Amino acid sequence: MGKIRQTQDQRPARLQQIWADLVGADAALDSNLEGIDSVRGVAYCRCVSSVRRFELGRQPDLAKRLGTALGKTIKRIVFK
């Protein structure tokens, strides 16, 4: 049952909706939350704009807020 729950938590549509709620619609158009490594506490995000990546990277509490939204511990966000 845990494996099913983990698979549901990693659905791209669910991740992108949480991401859009967290960073706003404009930022979500330029970026995509691609996945979560729950064991390491790392979220992976792809940005199409270096300016948007810089803006998101300057939010020191973004990882903590993402973790709260997902119900997981997120220590950092890796931008691609």
38-41: Cβ within 8 A, 24+ apart? 38/6, 38/72, 40/75, 41/67, 41/72, 41/73, 41/74, 41/75, 41/76
The reported pLDDT for the residue numbered 46 is: 95
How confident is the prediction along the chain (80 residues), in pLDDT tens digits per residue? 554 444 445 588 899 999 999 999 999 999 999 999 989 999 999 999 999 999 999 999 999 999 999 999 999 999 98
pLDDT tens sequence across 43-63:
999 999 999 999 999 999 999
Distance, CA of 19 to CA of 70 (rounded, Å): 10
